């Protein structure tokens, strides 16, 4: 009996040690709620590994499997409250979830935000709990109408179809009769999104700015830790946060390859910038638009060095020319395109590979004469703003969300 108990204790100790080994990753002391972040990251990694196994067995595409897991644990029906009416509908064939806050007594017409969720162009949904709660809070606190777009995802569609969905839904919403239906003030409409949704929101802003019929239709744009370029995967933030949750560098590069339906064989070469080496002529004219040695302050660049290969793999941009398309990478747009963009809010996090994308875009926008608010969180990590309720409630999640909504309240 004692021997059996001893064996059970040894086995239990070994399992606990194995679990701790799997969960534990070294994190900077400044990151918000580190142990909770480790658990969240381990959960996401486990889901990724299950989806990869499903893919390997030929049962489903790994991204479809992963998104099924995510949505299964978090899908939420269109449930209205006394303060916010929630409905699922479609705008010109694109599914949307609309959150209608109560109008202020002195303002019969409401403000509005078109919101685009994140997820690497492949994951999540406007209908999962995290985005439902965020948009409901925005609608209530801003007394606004929030249109959350359920755009199509990889691998069902690839670039630029996600942009087309967002453009189509937004153009439909901006029609006078639709704005009238929702009691929206046409002069107080903004676009916003987080991560890949921030990418699509920035692309939408640029597309509107180049269309005479749509120019000046947006009062503000608010980009939350946006992904804005795929030319340099060795900015200081990519180097500093190479293995940081929730978005390690290799995962971000794979999202880019998936977005373009590209070849995974290119991933390792892209990580070391072989796709934009000096012998890749197509990239030469664009490098100045993301020259971080001049766009980033010394407090960010520190002792990091640029990674610029003399010779690389010219096949990559030949087979995936979308890498150099400003619709996918708004940071590389010409200066003329950036002029007259609406007032902009950009939220960045210290522990995020995408930190420098946002900071560089803020700098380029300022140089183009755009009014920009850069809101940086030293203890923030990628994705933190949607993690505000138990069991994934983070201090920095609540603070980022409050700061974001406060800016919208003051500027929209």
Question: Known catalytic residues?
Answer: 195, 352, 382
Strand partners, 220: 190, 343
What sign has the CA pseudo-torsion 96, 219, 85, 82? positive
d(CA 343, CA 76): 33
Strand partners, 115: 148, 192
d(CA 344, CA 325): 22
Nearest to 241 by CA among 20, 12, 18, 41: 41
Give residue 58's region: left, alpha or beta (phi > 0; psi -120 to 50): left
d(CA 380, CA 151): 27
Which residues, in sequence order, are CB contacts of 81 under 8 Å at separation 6+?
136
Cα separations (Å) of 75 from 136, 138, 279, 365? 15, 19, 47, 36
d(CA 198, CA 10): 49
Strand partners, 98: 87, 147
Nearest to 317 by CA among 340, 283, 292, 348: 283
């Amino acid at each position: 009996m004692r021997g059996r108990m001893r064996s059970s204790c040894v086995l239990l100790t070994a399992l606990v040690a194995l679990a701790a080994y799997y969960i534990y990753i070294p994190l900077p002391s400044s990151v918000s709620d580190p142990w909770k972040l480790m658990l969240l990251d381990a959960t996401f990694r486990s889901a990724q590994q299950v989806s990869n196994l499903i893919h390997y067995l030929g049962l489903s595409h790994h991204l479809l499997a992963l998104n099924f897991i995510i949505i299964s644990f978090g899908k939420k029906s269109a449930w209205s409250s006394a303060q916010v009416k929630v409905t699922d509908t479609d705008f010109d064939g694109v599914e949307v979830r609309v959150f209608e806050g109560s109008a202020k007594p002195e303002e019969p017409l409401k403000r509005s935000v078109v919101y685009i969720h994140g997820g690497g162009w492949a994951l999540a949904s406007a209908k999962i709990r995290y985005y439902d709660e965020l948009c409901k809070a925005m609608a209530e606190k801003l007394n606004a109408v929030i249109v959350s777009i359920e755009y199509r995802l990889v691998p069902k569609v690839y670039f630029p179809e996600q942009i087309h969905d967002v453009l189509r839904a937004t153009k439909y919403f901006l029609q006078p009769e639709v704005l009238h239906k929702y009691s929206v003030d046409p002069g107080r409409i903004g676009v916003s999104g987080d991560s890949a949704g921030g990418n699509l929101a920035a692309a939408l802003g640029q597309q509107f700015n180049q269309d005479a019929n749509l120019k000046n239709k947006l009062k503000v744009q608010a980009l939350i830790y946006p992904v804005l370029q795929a030319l340099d995967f060795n900015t200081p933030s990519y180097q500093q946060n190479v293995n940081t949750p929730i978005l390690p560098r290799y995962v971000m590069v794979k999202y880019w390859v998936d977005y373009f339906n590209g070849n995974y064989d290119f991933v390792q070469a892209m990580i070391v910038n072989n796709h934009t080496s000096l012998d890749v002529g197509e990239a030469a004219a664009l490098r100045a638009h993301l020259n971080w040695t001049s766009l980033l302050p010394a407090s960010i660049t520190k002792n990091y060095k640029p990674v610029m290969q003399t010779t690389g793999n010219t096949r990559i941009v030949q087979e995936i020319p979308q890498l150099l398309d400003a619709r996918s990478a708004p940071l590389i747009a010409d200066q003329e395109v950036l002029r007259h963009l609406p007032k902009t809010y950009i939220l960045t996090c210290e522990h995020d590979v995408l930190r420098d994308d946002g900071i560089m875009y803020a700098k380029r926008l300022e140089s183009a004469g755009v009014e920009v608010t850069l809101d940086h969180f030293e203890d923030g990590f990628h994705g933190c703003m949607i993690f505000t309720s138990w069991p994934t409630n983070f201090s920095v999640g609540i603070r980022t969300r409050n700061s974001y909504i406060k800016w919208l309240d003051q500027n929209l």
